[in-house]
Amino acid sequence: MNITELFTDAIKPFLDGEKPPLNVGEVMNLWFYLTATEQTLRGEQVSYNIAQDMRLSQKSS
């Protein structure tokens, strides 16, 4: 496998203005990435809100 041909094949669709359609695996990976990103964002928001609330962040005595 020639690295130059690999690079050319990867860049060529962006240069001529024509893009091949996405296949099912690529679309599935995009949806998975979107879902994982949204869940991570929600988890970060919950963690931030718990850390900012003094009643929730203090140890029970």
CB contact set of 20 (below 8 Å; sequence gap of 6+): 13
Number of domains in the chain: 1
Residue 13 lies in a domain: no
Above 80 in pLDDT, residue 18?
Answer: no
Give residue 57's domain range: 22-61
Is residue 20 within 8 Å of residue 13, measured between CB atoms?
yes
**Residue at 55 is within a domain:** yes
Mind listing the pLDDT tens digit for each residue in 20-52?
A: 788 999 999 999 999 999 999 999 998 888 888
- Rounded to a whole number, what is the largest CA-CA distance in the chain? 68
31/38 Cα distance (integer angstroms) = 11
Bigger pLDDT: 14 vs 27: 27
State the pLDDT at residue 51: 82
What pLDDT was estimated at residue 15?
80
Does residue 35 lie in a domain region?
Answer: yes
Cβ neighbours of residue 56 closer than 8 Å, sequence gap 6 or more: 50
pLDDT of the residue at 28? 96
